[in-house]
Amino acid sequence: MQIADLLADVPTNLPEELFETLLQTDALRIERIISHAHASEPDFWYDQDEHEWVLLLAGAARLQLEGETAQVELRAGQAILIPAHQRHRVAWTTPDEPTIWLAIFYR
Amino acid sequence: MQIADLLADVPTNLPEELFETLLQTDALRIERIISHAHASEPDFWYDQDEHEWVLLLAGAARLQLEGETAQVELRAGQAILIPAHQRHRVAWTTPDEPTIWLAIFYR
């Protein structure tokens, strides 16, 4: 039985966000994403065919959702559901420590 | 956009394990489970039709898997995949603090 440690193997130097697929099946895909002071490009929006349930395991982040003026602030332990085609972008992740996301994508 | 806080609303007195469904769709079910020094009954085995990917968000636990002599020790941030019909039981959860599990069930 293989154990995955989602808080381990966090690079100290992270020029780009790191995306790792932990599990992929017909039903879903589970990813770990690590950010460290990263944000989406100002004009970039994610527009996904899949729903995304995303949970912060560490760090802090702000998401911008198209059509909403207030940004969504997330800290460790907090999760939101981003429905398919809800356009969104990462507005901010804390520079103080790595932000570790658990993202579950499904249709 | 509704935020779920998986580390909040943890009962201080927990006579039974607490199971909460956070998300249920045709594709998957996401549950938060809270244990505090709980273990499965000595002769009880979970035997599930669904696969379960389970991640410890807090605390510490040991799982017993049928057919394996060594128990699986999990601490916060660690995850394992329990295939459907892999019989298993919770051998131990720490008495020191609540153990918070994130369980993702799928077929």
pLDDT in tens, B46-63: 999 999 999 999 999 999
Contact flag A7-B77 (C-beta cutoff 8 Å): yes
| Mean pLDDT value across residues A99-105 | 98
Report ipTM (2 d.p.). 0.95
Which residues, other chains included, contact A12 with Cβ-Cβ below 8 Å and sequence gap of 6+?
Answer: none
Q: What is the DSSP letter of A22?
A: E
Residues of chain A whose C-beta is under 8 A from some C-beta in B?
Answer: 1-8, 22-23, 25, 27-28, 30, 51, 53, 55, 57, 65, 68, 72, 74, 76-82, 102, 104, 106-107
Residue B8: CB atoms within 10 Å: 8
Residue A67: the pLDDT is 94
Burial group, residue B21, by CB count within 10 angstroms (0-12, 13-18, 19+)? exposed
Q: Residue A9, SS3?
A: coil
Query: B39, B63 in Cβ contact below 8 A?
Result: no
Of A30, A74, A107, the CB nearest to B27: A107
pLDDT at B45 over 80: yes
- The candidate with the shortest Cα–Cα distance to B50, out of B88, B95, B98, is B88
Give B-chain residues touching A8 at CB under 8 angstroms.
77
Question: Which residue on chain A is closest to B73 by alpha carbon?
Answer: A3
Choose, out of A21, A104, A107, the residue to mutate when testing the contact with B (most B CBs < 10 Å).
A104
CB-based contact A7 B68, cutoff 8 Å: no
* Residue B1 pLDDT: 72
The pTM assigned to this predicted structure is: 0.96
- Tell if the CB–CB gap between B3 and A106 is shorter than 8 Å: no
B8, B78, B104 ranked by CB distance to A3: nearest:
B78
- DSSP annotation of B49: S
Amino acid sitting at position A39: A
The whole-angstrom separation of Cα B87 and Cα B82 is 9
B66-77 confidence digits (pLDDT tens): 999 999 999 999
**The CATH homologous superfamily of the domain defined by B32-106:** Jelly Rolls (2.60.120.10)
